[in-house]
Structure 1
Protein backbone atom coordinates (compact mmCIF):
# COMPACT_ATOMS: atom_id res chain seq x y z
CA UNK A 1 0.00 0.00 0.00
CA UNK A 2 2.84 2.40 0.74
CA UNK A 3 5.01 1.45 -2.22
CA UNK A 4 4.63 4.84 -3.90
CA UNK A 5 5.70 6.65 -0.75
CA UNK A 6 8.61 4.28 -0.16
CA UNK A 7 9.77 4.90 -3.74
CA UNK A 8 9.61 8.66 -3.16
CA UNK A 9 11.79 8.28 -0.06
CA UNK A 10 14.44 6.25 -1.88
CA UNK A 11 14.41 8.78 -4.72
CA UNK A 12 15.07 11.73 -2.40
CA UNK A 13 17.89 10.29 -0.29
CA UNK A 14 20.90 12.68 -0.20
CA UNK A 15 23.31 10.32 -1.94
CA UNK A 16 26.48 11.51 -3.60
CA UNK A 17 26.40 8.62 -6.09
CA UNK A 18 24.43 5.48 -6.74
CA UNK A 19 25.35 2.79 -4.18
CA UNK A 20 26.48 -0.61 -5.39
CA UNK A 21 26.15 -2.39 -2.05
CA UNK A 22 23.08 -1.88 0.13
CA UNK A 23 21.96 -3.50 3.38
CA UNK A 24 18.26 -3.61 4.32
CA UNK A 25 18.06 -4.16 8.09
CA UNK A 26 14.87 -5.81 9.27
CA UNK A 27 13.70 -6.26 5.69
CA UNK A 28 10.51 -8.20 6.42
CA UNK A 29 9.09 -9.54 3.16
CA UNK A 30 10.96 -6.98 1.11
CA UNK A 31 8.95 -3.79 0.59
CA UNK A 32 12.08 -1.69 1.08
CA UNK A 33 14.35 -4.19 -0.64
CA UNK A 34 12.42 -4.04 -3.90
CA UNK A 35 12.10 -0.26 -3.77
CA UNK A 36 15.88 -0.03 -3.40
CA UNK A 37 16.49 -2.49 -6.24
CA UNK A 38 14.22 -0.45 -8.50
CA UNK A 39 15.80 2.87 -7.52
CA UNK A 40 19.40 1.64 -7.88
CA UNK A 41 19.51 -0.80 -10.82
CA UNK A 42 23.25 -1.43 -10.48
CA UNK A 43 23.09 -2.28 -6.80
CA UNK A 44 22.95 -5.54 -4.88
CA UNK A 45 21.01 -5.73 -1.62
CA UNK A 46 21.71 -7.84 1.46
CA UNK A 47 18.25 -8.33 2.99
CA UNK A 48 18.57 -9.09 6.73
CA UNK A 49 15.79 -10.38 8.97
CA UNK A 50 15.35 -12.77 11.89
CA UNK A 51 12.35 -14.49 10.28
CA UNK A 52 13.08 -17.40 7.96
CA UNK A 53 9.51 -17.21 6.64
CA UNK A 54 9.86 -13.54 5.71
CA UNK A 55 13.11 -14.24 3.92
CA UNK A 56 11.61 -17.20 2.06
CA UNK A 57 8.75 -15.04 0.79
CA UNK A 58 11.20 -12.29 -0.17
CA UNK A 59 13.32 -14.78 -2.10
CA UNK A 60 10.25 -16.12 -3.92
CA UNK A 61 9.24 -12.59 -4.95
CA UNK A 62 12.79 -11.83 -6.07
CA UNK A 63 12.83 -14.95 -8.25
CA UNK A 64 9.43 -14.11 -9.71
CA UNK A 65 10.64 -10.59 -10.50
CA UNK A 66 13.91 -11.77 -12.04
CA UNK A 67 16.12 -9.93 -9.56
CA UNK A 68 17.19 -12.87 -7.38
CA UNK A 69 20.77 -12.50 -8.62
CA UNK A 70 20.86 -9.06 -6.98
CA UNK A 71 19.52 -10.12 -3.57
CA UNK A 72 21.29 -11.95 -0.75
CA UNK A 73 19.02 -13.00 2.10
CA UNK A 74 20.64 -13.16 5.54
CA UNK A 75 18.86 -14.61 8.56
CA UNK A 76 20.21 -12.96 11.70
CA UNK A 77 19.20 -11.68 15.11
CA UNK A 78 20.64 -8.17 15.13
CA UNK A 79 20.41 -8.05 18.92
CA UNK A 80 23.04 -10.82 18.96
CA UNK A 81 26.19 -11.32 16.88
CA UNK A 82 26.10 -9.58 13.51
CA UNK A 83 26.83 -11.50 10.30
CA UNK A 84 29.35 -10.35 7.71
CA UNK A 85 27.46 -7.79 5.62
CA UNK A 86 30.39 -6.34 3.71
CA UNK A 87 30.95 -2.59 3.49
CA UNK A 88 27.78 -1.04 2.08
CA UNK A 89 27.44 2.52 0.87
CA UNK A 90 23.81 2.61 2.00
CA UNK A 91 22.07 0.99 4.96
CA UNK A 92 18.27 1.13 5.06
CA UNK A 93 16.17 0.42 8.16
CA UNK A 94 12.42 0.86 7.74
CA UNK A 95 10.13 0.21 10.72
CA UNK A 96 12.81 -1.95 12.31
CA UNK A 97 14.88 0.25 14.63
CA UNK A 98 12.17 0.46 17.29
CA UNK A 99 12.25 -3.34 17.62
CA UNK A 100 15.92 -3.42 18.65
CA UNK A 101 16.59 -4.35 22.27
CA UNK A 102 19.60 -2.00 22.36
CA UNK A 103 19.16 0.64 19.63
CA UNK A 104 22.31 2.52 20.63
CA UNK A 105 24.36 -0.63 19.97
CA UNK A 106 22.66 -1.08 16.60
CA UNK A 107 23.45 2.50 15.59
CA UNK A 108 27.09 1.99 16.50
CA UNK A 109 27.21 -1.26 14.56
CA UNK A 110 25.77 0.43 11.47
CA UNK A 111 28.33 3.22 11.79
CA UNK A 112 31.13 0.64 11.86
CA UNK A 113 29.59 -1.25 8.95
CA UNK A 114 29.14 1.64 6.52
CA UNK A 115 31.76 2.67 4.03
CA UNK A 116 33.29 6.11 4.76
CA UNK A 117 30.87 8.70 3.46
CA UNK A 118 28.07 6.12 3.41
CA UNK A 119 24.47 6.91 4.27
CA UNK A 120 22.15 5.40 6.87
CA UNK A 121 18.43 5.90 6.17
CA UNK A 122 16.08 5.31 9.11
CA UNK A 123 12.36 5.29 8.28
CA UNK A 124 9.89 4.96 11.13
CA UNK A 125 6.08 5.15 11.24
CA UNK A 126 4.49 7.80 13.42
CA UNK A 127 2.02 5.41 15.03
CA UNK A 128 -0.18 2.84 13.30
CA UNK A 129 -2.29 3.80 10.27
CA UNK A 130 -5.89 4.84 10.71
CA UNK A 131 -8.53 3.58 8.31
CA UNK A 132 -12.05 4.52 9.40
CA UNK A 133 -13.63 7.94 8.90
CA UNK A 134 -13.28 10.23 11.89
CA UNK A 135 -15.70 9.17 14.60
CA UNK A 136 -16.46 5.82 12.94
CA UNK A 137 -17.90 3.27 12.95
CA UNK A 138 -21.47 4.52 13.23
CA UNK A 139 -22.58 1.93 15.79
CA UNK A 140 -19.59 2.64 18.06
CA UNK A 141 -18.27 6.18 17.40
CA UNK A 142 -14.62 6.81 18.26
CA UNK A 143 -13.74 3.11 18.32
CA UNK A 144 -10.57 3.50 16.26
CA UNK A 145 -9.25 6.30 18.47
CA UNK A 146 -9.77 4.17 21.58
CA UNK A 147 -8.03 1.23 19.88
CA UNK A 148 -5.05 3.47 19.10
CA UNK A 149 -4.96 4.86 22.65
CA UNK A 150 -4.83 1.31 24.04
CA UNK A 151 -2.21 0.32 21.48
CA UNK A 152 -0.07 3.35 22.31
CA UNK A 153 -0.20 2.44 26.00
CA UNK A 154 0.81 -1.15 25.22
CA UNK A 155 3.75 -0.08 23.08
CA UNK A 156 4.90 2.49 25.64
CA UNK A 157 5.26 -0.41 28.07
CA UNK A 158 6.53 -3.15 25.76
CA UNK A 159 8.16 -1.39 22.77
CA UNK A 160 9.58 1.73 24.42
CA UNK A 161 11.53 2.89 21.36
CA UNK A 162 8.43 3.10 19.17
CA UNK A 163 7.97 6.74 18.13
CA UNK A 164 11.47 7.74 19.24
CA UNK A 165 13.41 10.67 17.80
CA UNK A 166 16.44 8.94 16.29
CA UNK A 167 18.37 12.14 15.61
CA UNK A 168 20.21 12.37 18.96
CA UNK A 169 21.05 8.67 18.92
CA UNK A 170 22.46 8.90 15.41
CA UNK A 171 24.61 11.85 16.46
CA UNK A 172 25.84 10.02 19.55
CA UNK A 173 26.84 7.08 17.34
CA UNK A 174 29.05 9.33 15.24
CA UNK A 175 26.72 10.16 12.35
CA UNK A 176 26.01 13.56 10.87
CA UNK A 177 22.25 13.87 10.41
CA UNK A 178 21.81 15.58 7.05
CA UNK A 179 18.04 15.44 6.78
CA UNK A 180 14.97 14.80 8.90
CA UNK A 181 11.51 15.00 7.41
CA UNK A 182 8.03 13.67 8.03
CA UNK A 183 5.88 12.42 5.17
CA UNK A 184 2.09 12.53 5.45
CA UNK A 185 0.28 9.64 3.78
CA UNK A 186 -3.40 9.79 2.83
CA UNK A 187 -4.67 7.13 0.44
CA UNK A 188 -8.33 7.30 -0.57
CA UNK A 189 -9.99 3.90 -0.43
CA UNK A 190 -12.10 4.64 -3.51
CA UNK A 191 -8.90 4.62 -5.56
CA UNK A 192 -7.14 1.68 -3.88
CA UNK A 193 -9.16 -1.53 -3.74
CA UNK A 194 -6.58 -3.26 -1.51
CA UNK A 195 -7.15 -0.85 1.39
CA UNK A 196 -9.89 -3.02 2.88
CA UNK A 197 -7.55 -6.01 3.11
CA UNK A 198 -4.77 -3.80 4.47
CA UNK A 199 -7.15 -2.40 7.12
CA UNK A 200 -8.36 -5.88 8.04
CA UNK A 201 -4.85 -7.21 8.59
CA UNK A 202 -3.74 -4.09 10.45
CA UNK A 203 -6.68 -4.17 12.87
CA UNK A 204 -6.29 -7.93 13.34
CA UNK A 205 -2.73 -7.37 14.51
CA UNK A 206 -3.79 -4.54 16.80
CA UNK A 207 -6.55 -6.63 18.37
CA UNK A 208 -3.97 -8.96 19.86
CA UNK A 209 -2.42 -6.11 21.86
CA UNK A 210 -5.54 -4.14 22.85
CA UNK A 211 -8.15 -6.81 23.60
CA UNK A 212 -7.55 -6.78 27.36
CA UNK A 213 -7.71 -2.98 27.54
CA UNK A 214 -10.93 -2.39 25.61
CA UNK A 215 -14.41 -2.43 27.15
CA UNK A 216 -16.61 -5.31 26.04
CA UNK A 217 -18.71 -3.09 23.78
CA UNK A 218 -15.62 -1.89 21.89
CA UNK A 219 -14.26 -5.39 21.52
CA UNK A 220 -17.60 -6.60 20.14
CA UNK A 221 -17.66 -3.74 17.63
CA UNK A 222 -14.07 -4.46 16.61
CA UNK A 223 -14.85 -8.14 16.09
CA UNK A 224 -17.77 -7.20 13.85
CA UNK A 225 -15.36 -5.20 11.70
CA UNK A 226 -12.93 -8.12 11.60
CA UNK A 227 -15.54 -10.72 10.61
CA UNK A 228 -14.58 -10.92 6.94
CA UNK A 229 -17.89 -12.46 5.87
CA UNK A 230 -20.11 -10.48 8.23
CA UNK A 231 -22.47 -7.66 7.32
CA UNK A 232 -20.38 -5.12 9.27
CA UNK A 233 -17.02 -6.30 7.89
CA UNK A 234 -14.45 -3.65 7.21
CA UNK A 235 -14.10 -5.26 3.77
CA UNK A 236 -17.62 -4.03 2.92
CA UNK A 237 -16.96 -0.38 3.73
CA UNK A 238 -16.58 2.14 0.92
CA UNK A 239 -15.37 4.99 3.15
CA UNK A 240 -11.91 3.71 4.12
CA UNK A 241 -8.61 5.52 3.74
CA UNK A 242 -5.04 5.04 4.90
CA UNK A 243 -3.92 7.94 7.07
CA UNK A 244 -0.48 7.83 8.59
CA UNK A 245 2.90 9.57 8.79
CA UNK A 246 6.47 8.34 8.34
CA UNK A 247 9.60 10.12 9.53
CA UNK A 248 12.91 9.78 7.66
CA UNK A 249 16.36 10.42 9.08
CA UNK A 250 19.26 10.48 6.60
CA UNK A 251 22.59 10.27 8.43
CA UNK A 252 26.09 10.11 7.01
CA UNK A 253 29.25 8.49 8.28
CA UNK A 254 32.08 10.99 7.94
Structure 2
Protein backbone atom coordinates (compact mmCIF):
# COMPACT_ATOMS: atom_id res chain seq x y z
CA UNK A 1 0.00 0.00 0.00
CA UNK A 2 0.95 3.61 -0.40
CA UNK A 3 0.80 5.66 2.77
CA UNK A 4 0.04 9.34 2.91
CA UNK A 5 -0.26 11.56 5.94
CA UNK A 6 -0.39 15.21 4.98
CA UNK A 7 -1.01 16.27 8.59
CA UNK A 8 1.43 13.90 10.22
CA UNK A 9 2.84 16.76 11.22
CA UNK A 10 -10.15 11.35 5.54
CA UNK A 11 -17.01 10.75 2.83
CA UNK A 12 -13.84 9.33 3.39
CA UNK A 13 -16.62 8.78 5.08
CA UNK A 14 -16.05 10.26 4.51
CA UNK A 15 -14.35 9.98 5.09
CA UNK A 16 -15.81 9.58 6.82
CA UNK A 17 -16.55 7.94 11.87
CA UNK A 18 -19.20 5.33 12.24
CA UNK A 19 -22.83 6.34 12.02
CA UNK A 20 -26.03 4.71 10.88
CA UNK A 21 -26.89 6.16 7.48
CA UNK A 22 -30.63 5.82 8.03
CA UNK A 23 -30.80 6.67 11.74
CA UNK A 24 -31.84 10.29 11.65
CA UNK A 25 -30.14 13.58 10.88
CA UNK A 26 -26.36 13.58 11.36
CA UNK A 27 -25.80 16.83 9.49
CA UNK A 28 -23.79 18.56 12.21
CA UNK A 29 -21.24 15.81 12.72
CA UNK A 30 -20.95 15.20 8.97
CA UNK A 31 -20.27 18.88 8.38
CA UNK A 32 -17.63 18.89 11.13
CA UNK A 33 -16.05 15.76 9.69
CA UNK A 34 -15.85 17.46 6.29
CA UNK A 35 -14.38 20.63 7.78
CA UNK A 36 -11.73 18.97 9.92
CA UNK A 37 -10.69 16.36 7.34
CA UNK A 38 -11.02 18.46 4.17
CA UNK A 39 -7.32 18.23 3.31
CA UNK A 40 -7.35 14.46 3.60
CA UNK A 41 -10.43 14.13 1.38
CA UNK A 42 -8.76 16.37 -1.20
CA UNK A 43 -5.63 14.18 -1.10
CA UNK A 44 -7.77 11.15 -1.96
CA UNK A 45 -9.53 12.82 -4.90
CA UNK A 46 -6.15 14.05 -6.20
CA UNK A 47 -4.76 10.49 -6.06
CA UNK A 48 -7.53 8.85 -8.08
CA UNK A 49 -6.24 7.35 -11.37
CA UNK A 50 -8.91 8.93 -13.54
CA UNK A 51 -6.90 10.05 -16.57
CA UNK A 52 -9.02 12.56 -18.44
CA UNK A 53 -11.43 14.33 -16.11
CA UNK A 54 -14.82 12.59 -15.78
CA UNK A 55 -17.87 14.41 -17.08
CA UNK A 56 -20.38 12.69 -14.80
CA UNK A 57 -19.75 11.51 -11.23
CA UNK A 58 -22.10 9.72 -8.83
CA UNK A 59 -21.60 9.99 -5.06
CA UNK A 60 -23.34 7.06 -3.35
CA UNK A 61 -24.34 7.69 0.26
CA UNK A 62 -23.25 11.32 0.00
CA UNK A 63 -24.28 12.49 3.47
CA UNK A 64 -24.05 16.28 3.62
CA UNK A 65 -21.67 16.30 0.69
CA UNK A 66 -18.03 16.22 1.81
CA UNK A 67 -17.19 13.97 -1.12
CA UNK A 68 -19.52 15.66 -3.60
CA UNK A 69 -18.04 19.10 -2.91
CA UNK A 70 -14.46 17.80 -3.05
CA UNK A 71 -15.19 16.11 -6.38
CA UNK A 72 -16.80 19.26 -7.81
CA UNK A 73 -13.66 21.14 -6.83
CA UNK A 74 -11.29 18.47 -8.16
CA UNK A 75 -13.09 18.06 -11.50
CA UNK A 76 -14.40 21.51 -12.54
CA UNK A 77 -15.76 20.17 -15.82
CA UNK A 78 -17.87 17.47 -14.19
CA UNK A 79 -21.43 17.21 -12.96
CA UNK A 80 -22.13 15.28 -9.75
CA UNK A 81 -25.22 13.25 -8.90
CA UNK A 82 -25.38 12.94 -5.09
CA UNK A 83 -27.46 10.06 -3.69
CA UNK A 84 -28.59 9.59 -0.10
CA UNK A 85 -31.58 8.21 1.79
CA UNK A 86 -31.76 11.27 4.08
CA UNK A 87 -33.73 14.28 2.88
CA UNK A 88 -32.06 16.40 5.59
CA UNK A 89 -28.59 15.50 4.32
CA UNK A 90 -29.50 16.31 0.73
CA UNK A 91 -31.06 19.62 1.74
CA UNK A 92 -27.90 20.56 3.62
CA UNK A 93 -25.76 19.63 0.62
CA UNK A 94 -27.86 21.83 -1.65
CA UNK A 95 -27.38 24.74 0.75
CA UNK A 96 -23.60 24.27 0.81
CA UNK A 97 -23.36 23.81 -2.98
CA UNK A 98 -25.48 26.82 -3.93
CA UNK A 99 -22.65 28.23 -6.04
CA UNK A 100 -22.39 25.00 -8.03
CA UNK A 101 -26.11 24.30 -8.30
CA UNK A 102 -25.94 23.90 -12.07
CA UNK A 103 -23.41 21.07 -11.68
CA UNK A 104 -25.12 19.22 -8.82
CA UNK A 105 -28.14 16.94 -8.89
CA UNK A 106 -29.46 15.32 -5.73
CA UNK A 107 -31.38 12.05 -5.67
CA UNK A 108 -33.09 10.61 -2.61
CA UNK A 109 -32.89 6.83 -2.80
CA UNK A 110 -32.41 3.73 -0.68
CA UNK A 111 -29.22 2.08 -1.94
CA UNK A 112 -30.32 -1.21 -0.40
CA UNK A 113 -33.19 -1.36 -2.89
CA UNK A 114 -32.75 -3.98 -5.63
CA UNK A 115 -33.53 -1.34 -8.27
CA UNK A 116 -32.00 2.13 -8.26
CA UNK A 117 -33.43 5.25 -9.91
CA UNK A 118 -31.84 6.45 -13.15
CA UNK A 119 -28.40 7.77 -12.20
CA UNK A 120 -27.05 8.08 -15.72
CA UNK A 121 -23.82 6.44 -16.88
CA UNK A 122 -21.02 7.98 -14.82
CA UNK A 123 -17.31 7.70 -15.53
CA UNK A 124 -16.59 7.88 -11.79
CA UNK A 125 -18.55 6.53 -8.81
CA UNK A 126 -17.50 7.56 -5.29
CA UNK A 127 -18.65 5.80 -2.11
CA UNK A 128 -17.20 6.93 1.21
CA UNK A 129 -18.14 5.18 4.46
CA UNK A 130 -21.32 3.83 2.89
CA UNK A 131 -20.61 0.36 1.47
CA UNK A 132 -20.23 -1.37 4.85
CA UNK A 133 -23.74 -0.20 5.78
CA UNK A 134 -25.32 -2.04 2.84
CA UNK A 135 -27.37 -5.11 3.76
CA UNK A 136 -25.87 -6.96 0.76
CA UNK A 137 -22.66 -5.18 -0.27
CA UNK A 138 -21.85 -7.81 -2.90
CA UNK A 139 -25.08 -7.00 -4.72
CA UNK A 140 -24.41 -3.28 -4.32
CA UNK A 141 -20.94 -3.65 -5.84
CA UNK A 142 -22.44 -5.45 -8.83
CA UNK A 143 -24.93 -2.60 -9.20
CA UNK A 144 -22.07 -0.09 -9.13
CA UNK A 145 -20.22 -2.11 -11.78
CA UNK A 146 -23.23 -2.11 -14.07
CA UNK A 147 -23.88 1.59 -13.43
CA UNK A 148 -20.42 2.71 -14.52
CA UNK A 149 -19.51 3.53 -18.09
CA UNK A 150 -17.12 0.96 -19.63
CA UNK A 151 -13.64 1.79 -18.39
CA UNK A 152 -15.11 3.89 -15.56
CA UNK A 153 -13.60 4.06 -12.08
CA UNK A 154 -15.08 3.21 -8.69
CA UNK A 155 -13.51 4.93 -5.66
CA UNK A 156 -14.33 3.05 -2.46
CA UNK A 157 -13.34 4.74 0.80
CA UNK A 158 -13.74 3.01 4.15
CA UNK A 159 -12.84 4.02 7.71
CA UNK A 160 -10.61 2.23 10.17
CA UNK A 161 -13.07 2.70 13.01
CA UNK A 162 -14.14 5.72 15.02
CA UNK A 163 -11.64 8.61 15.33
CA UNK A 164 -9.68 9.10 18.54
CA UNK A 165 -9.30 12.50 20.17
CA UNK A 166 -7.77 12.12 23.64
CA UNK A 167 -4.25 11.25 24.81
CA UNK A 168 -3.89 7.69 26.15
CA UNK A 169 -3.53 8.93 29.74
CA UNK A 170 -6.68 11.07 29.66
CA UNK A 171 -8.81 11.97 31.44
CA UNK A 172 -6.91 12.15 34.72
CA UNK A 173 -9.57 10.36 36.75
CA UNK A 174 -10.04 7.56 34.16
CA UNK A 175 -6.89 7.03 32.02
CA UNK A 176 -7.56 4.95 28.91
CA UNK A 177 -11.25 5.87 28.86
CA UNK A 178 -11.32 6.30 25.08
CA UNK A 179 -9.79 2.85 24.54
CA UNK A 180 -12.53 1.27 26.66
CA UNK A 181 -15.20 3.23 24.80
CA UNK A 182 -13.77 2.00 21.49
CA UNK A 183 -13.75 -1.62 22.68
CA UNK A 184 -17.43 -1.29 23.59
CA UNK A 185 -18.18 0.35 20.24
CA UNK A 186 -16.38 -2.43 18.35
CA UNK A 187 -18.58 -4.99 20.11
CA UNK A 188 -21.68 -2.94 19.29
CA UNK A 189 -20.74 -2.72 15.60
CA UNK A 190 -19.79 -6.40 15.36
CA UNK A 191 -23.45 -7.16 16.04
CA UNK A 192 -25.04 -4.36 14.01
CA UNK A 193 -22.62 -3.57 11.16
CA UNK A 194 -21.28 -7.01 10.10
CA UNK A 195 -19.60 -5.75 6.90
CA UNK A 196 -17.39 -3.25 8.70
CA UNK A 197 -13.77 -4.25 7.97
CA UNK A 198 -14.71 -6.52 5.03
CA UNK A 199 -12.13 -7.72 2.50
CA UNK A 200 -13.06 -5.11 -0.10
CA UNK A 201 -10.32 -6.02 -2.56
CA UNK A 202 -11.71 -9.54 -2.84
CA UNK A 203 -15.28 -8.29 -3.01
CA UNK A 204 -14.38 -5.83 -5.78
CA UNK A 205 -12.67 -8.58 -7.77
CA UNK A 206 -15.67 -10.88 -7.36
CA UNK A 207 -17.88 -8.05 -8.68
CA UNK A 208 -15.72 -8.04 -11.87
CA UNK A 209 -13.72 -4.92 -11.06
CA UNK A 210 -9.98 -4.64 -11.64
CA UNK A 211 -8.37 -3.03 -8.59
CA UNK A 212 -5.83 -0.52 -9.93
CA UNK A 213 -4.79 1.17 -6.71
CA UNK A 214 -5.02 0.87 -2.96
CA UNK A 215 -3.77 3.19 -0.24
CA UNK A 216 -4.17 4.12 3.39
CA UNK A 217 -4.50 7.77 4.38
CA UNK A 218 -3.32 8.40 7.92
CA UNK A 219 -5.01 11.24 9.77
CA UNK A 220 -3.02 12.71 12.68
CA UNK A 221 -4.06 16.29 13.41
CA UNK A 222 -2.81 18.39 16.33
CA UNK A 223 -2.55 19.42 19.05
CA UNK A 224 -2.79 22.35 18.97
CA UNK A 225 -6.23 22.16 17.43
CA UNK A 226 -8.87 24.39 15.91
CA UNK A 227 -12.27 25.16 17.43
CA UNK A 228 -13.76 22.84 14.80
CA UNK A 229 -11.73 19.92 16.19
CA UNK A 230 -13.13 20.62 19.66
CA UNK A 231 -16.70 20.64 18.36
CA UNK A 232 -15.98 17.53 16.26
CA UNK A 233 -14.67 15.73 19.35
CA UNK A 234 -17.68 16.81 21.42
CA UNK A 235 -20.21 15.71 18.81
CA UNK A 236 -18.38 12.44 18.14
CA UNK A 237 -17.95 11.52 21.81
CA UNK A 238 -21.64 12.20 22.40
CA UNK A 239 -22.49 9.63 19.73
CA UNK A 240 -19.85 7.27 21.09
CA UNK A 241 -21.54 7.45 24.49
CA UNK A 242 -24.85 6.49 22.93
CA UNK A 243 -23.40 3.23 21.60
CA UNK A 244 -20.94 2.38 24.39
CA UNK A 245 -22.78 3.44 27.57
CA UNK A 246 -24.27 0.04 28.42
CA UNK A 247 -20.80 -1.57 28.47
CA UNK A 248 -19.04 1.09 30.56
CA UNK A 249 -18.60 1.18 34.33
CA UNK A 250 -20.29 3.86 36.39
CA UNK A 251 -16.89 5.48 36.93
CA UNK A 252 -16.18 5.63 33.20
CA UNK A 253 -19.63 7.04 32.46
CA UNK A 254 -19.10 9.75 35.06
CA UNK A 255 -15.72 10.64 33.52
CA UNK A 256 -17.20 10.67 30.01
CA UNK A 257 -20.11 12.84 31.08
CA UNK A 258 -17.70 15.37 32.59
CA UNK A 259 -15.99 15.61 29.19
CA UNK A 260 -19.36 16.12 27.51
CA UNK A 261 -20.60 18.76 29.95
CA UNK A 262 -19.93 22.01 28.10
CA UNK A 263 -20.43 24.01 31.32
CA UNK A 264 -17.76 22.03 33.15
CA UNK A 265 -14.12 23.03 33.54
CA UNK A 266 -13.39 19.45 32.41
CA UNK A 267 -15.32 19.83 29.13
CA UNK A 268 -13.63 18.43 26.07
CA UNK A 269 -14.04 21.91 24.56
CA UNK A 270 -11.62 23.28 27.16
CA UNK A 271 -8.87 20.70 26.66
CA UNK A 272 -5.69 21.84 24.92
CA UNK A 273 -4.43 18.32 24.19
CA UNK A 274 -7.06 17.19 21.66
CA UNK A 275 -6.11 15.69 18.31
CA UNK A 276 -7.78 13.66 15.58
CA UNK A 277 -6.32 10.23 14.81
CA UNK A 278 -7.77 7.73 12.37
CA UNK A 279 -7.16 6.06 9.01
CA UNK A 280 -9.03 5.79 5.74
CA UNK A 281 -8.52 2.94 3.31
CA UNK A 282 -9.10 3.65 -0.37
CA UNK A 283 -9.52 1.32 -3.34
CA UNK A 284 -9.59 2.50 -6.98
CA UNK A 285 -11.31 -0.17 -9.09
CA UNK A 286 -11.89 -0.14 -12.84
CA UNK A 287 -14.84 -1.51 -14.79
CA UNK A 288 -13.05 -3.30 -17.65
| TM-score normalized with structure 2 length | 0.86
Q: Distance in 2 between matches of 1:223 and 1:191?
A: 22
1:196 aligns with 2:236: no
How many residue pairs get aligned? The number is: 252
User: How far did residue 191 of structure 1 move?
Assistant: 4.2
Tell me the SS of whatever aligns to 1:212: helix
User: How far did residue 193 of structure 1 move?
Assistant: 2.7
Q: Distance in 2 between matches of 1:191 and 1:241?
A: 7
Change (3 A) 1:232 1:191: closer
Q: Distance in 2 between matches of 1:136 and 1:233?
A: 12
Residue of structure 2 in register with 1:4 after alignment: 39
Residue of structure 2 in register with 1:54 after alignment: 89
Counterparts of 1:121-136 in structure 2, within 5 Å, are 121-136=155-170
Q: Distance in 2 between matches of 1:189 and 1:2?
A: 15
User: How far did residue 202 of structure 1 move?
Assistant: 0.7
Q: Distance in 1 between matches of 2:100 and 2:223?
A: 31
Tell me the SS of whatever aligns to 2:246: coil
> 134, 159, 172: which one pairs with 1:138?
172
Q: Distance in 2 between matches of 1:82 and 1:207?
A: 35
Tell me the SS of whatever aligns to 2:204: helix
1:93 aligns with 2:127: yes
Residue of structure 1 in register with 2:136 after alignment: 102
Q: Distance in 2 between matches of 1:164 and 1:3?
A: 25
- Gapped runs of 5+ residues in structure 1? none
| TM-score normalized with structure 1 length | 0.98
1:69 aligns with 2:96: no
Tell me the SS of whatever aligns to 1:67: helix
User: How far did residue 135 of structure 1 move?
Assistant: 2.2
Counterparts of 1:8-19 in structure 2, within 5 Å, are 8-19=43-54
Moved more, 188-197 or 87-96: 188-197
Summarize deviations over 1:131-151 as a string: whole Å, max 9, x none. Answer: 001221111100000000000
Q: Is the 8 A contact 2:225 2:274 kept in 1?
A: no
1:236 aligns with 2:270: yes
1:32 aligns with 2:67: yes
User: How far did residue 120 of structure 1 move?
Assistant: 0.2
Q: Is the 8 A contact 2:127 2:156 kept in 1?
A: yes
Q: Distance in 1 between matches of 2:121 and 2:223?
A: 42
Q: Is the 8 A contact 1:189 1:195 kept in 2?
A: no
Structure 1 consecutive aligned stretches of length 4 or more whose deviation exceeds 6 Å: none
Tell me the SS of whatever aligns to 2:227: coil
Q: Distance in 1 between matches of 2:187 and 2:94?
A: 36
Tell me the SS of whatever aligns to 1:240: coil
> 139, 151, 154: which one pairs with 2:188?
154
Tell me the C-alpha RMSD between the 2 structures.
0.8
Counterparts of 1:162-177 in structure 2, within 5 Å, are 162-177=196-211
Q: Distance in 1 between matches of 2:199 and 2:244?
A: 25
User: How far did residue 40 of structure 1 move?
Assistant: 0.1
Q: Is the 8 A contact 1:174 1:253 kept in 2?
A: yes
Residue of structure 2 in register with 1:119 after alignment: 153
Q: Distance in 2 between matches of 1:212 and 1:191?
A: 31
User: How far did residue 189 of structure 1 move?
Assistant: 3.4
